[in-house]
Amino acid sequence: MSRPADRLAHLPAYPFAIINQRVRQLTQQGIDVISLDVGSPDMPPPEFVIEALSRAAHQPNKHGYSGYKGAPEFRRAVADYYQRRFGVALDPEKEVLPLLGSKEGIVNLCLAYLDRGDLALVPEVSYPAYSMGAYMAGAEVYWVPVDEQFLPILDAIPTDVLKRAKLLWVNYPNNPTGATVDLEFYQRAAAFCAKYDILLASDNPYFEVTYDGYIAGSALQVTDFKPFTIEFISMSKSHNMAGWRLGAAVGSAEAITNLLQIKSNIDSGHFLAIYEAGAAALNETPQSWIDARNAVYQRRRDLILSRMNRIGLTAAPPKGSLYVWAKTHAGTGQDYVEGALNNAHVSFAPGSMYGPGGTDYVRISVGVPDDQLAVALDRLEKWQRN
C-alpha cells in the first residue's frame, strides 16, 4: 500500500467527525444522545424553494453539467441580493462565484493563495476551516489574539508575520462566539489589509441570523477596498439549506478569478435545479419568514441562557449566529464536553476545536427542536446537581 501524503501528518481529523463517531458509539449501545454540537438548522427552507427545486428537477434539460461558474441566474440573484441587502453593486460575471457550500470555497481560497512559507492570519477563536485550509496548502497559521469582544487585535501582529501573511480571516456574526461588529470594524480591517497587501477574507454566512434588532453588515460595504476583499455567503444558515450545499464567493474580481482556477480543476459546478431553487430563495424569501425563523432561534437562545448557572456555564447573550458560546465554571471545555456526553448524554462542541483561545469554552447550537432542547437542559442540570 502506498504511503499517504505528508500533509495528513499535519492535518488532524475534522473535529466534528470525531464527535460524531463518539455519538454513534453511544447510540449503538442504545443510549439516546441529544446533539447540541453541529450548527445545522432543524427547520426546512421556505416551501416555495422546495417547489422550485422539484419543478426544475422534472425538466429534462436540467441534468447536465451546469458550467464551472454555475448558473447565470443564480449569479444574478446573488448580485441583486447584495444590492438590496447591503447596497453593494456586484458584477455577476466577474465578482460572483457559486460554491458547493462556503466551506469548500474557504479551503479552496487557501489553495489559491497560500504556499509553503506563507501565513494565514486566523483569529485565535474561529471556524476550523480557516486553519485547516492553510495546513492543507502547506502554509502556516498565525493565531491572532482577540479582545473581550472576540475581535482580532490587529496591532498585536508582529511586522515579520505581516511580511509573510497572505490572508486575514474575519467572521461576523461569529462562529463560534456569536460576536458582532459594525462597519467601522470592516473599515479598519480593510485598510489594514490594503496597507500590508493582504487579502481580507470575510466569512459571512450568519448575516441573516440575528437577534435583538441587530442588523449585520458586509465587509464589501466599505468603499474603495473591494480589490482587497472577498466575502463568502452560504444558503445553509440564511435559508435553512445546509444539506443543499449552496453558497457563493463575492467581491474582488482578481480573487474570484484565482478561486475559480482552483475550483474548475476540482469540481464541475452544482445541480442546475439547486441553482434555480437558490435563486428563488434569494429573490423571493420575504423578511417575515426570516424574522419568524430568527424568533424561534432567539427563544431557544433565551432558554439556554436562563439555565446557564444551573448547568455549570456562563455566557453573554449573542446578537447573531446559531450558537451560545459558554465558559465553564470549572475545568476545561473538553472536560465539560466529556462529562456532559458520558453523564447527561448531551453532545457539545469543545471550544478548543475553534483555536487556542477557546480552551475554557463550549459551543451550544440552537438548531435543535424545542422539546429536545428542554430535555437536554434538564439532563444537564440533573448531572450538575449530582
Number of H helices, E strands in the chain: 13, 13
Q: What is the DSSP string of 315-356?
A: -PPPSBSSEEEEEESSS-HHHHHHHIIIII-EE-EEGGGG-G
Distance of CA 186 to the CA centre of its chain: 18
In terms of Cα–Cα distance, which of 169, 230, 168 is closest to 195? 168
What are 174-212's pLDDT values in tens digits?
Answer: 999 999 999 999 999 999 999 999 999 999 999 999 999
Structure confidence at residue 16 (pLDDT): 67
pLDDT at position 12, please? 74
Start-to-end Cα distance in the chain: 51
The pLDDT assigned to 10 comes to 78
pLDDT under 50 in the chain at which residues? Answer: none
Q: What is the pLDDT of residue 6?
A: 84
Q: Which three cell numbers stand for residue 284?
A: 423571493
Domains of the chain (ranges plus CATH)?
6-44+287-385 (3.90.1150.10), 47-284 (3.40.640.10)
Q: What was the pLDDT predicted at 349?
A: 94
Confirm if 293 and 309 have CB atoms less than 8 A apart: no
**Beta strand 323-328 with 313-314: parallel, antiparallel or unpaired?**
antiparallel
**Which of 99, 143, 135 is CA-nearest to residue 114?**
135
pLDDT of residue 24: 84
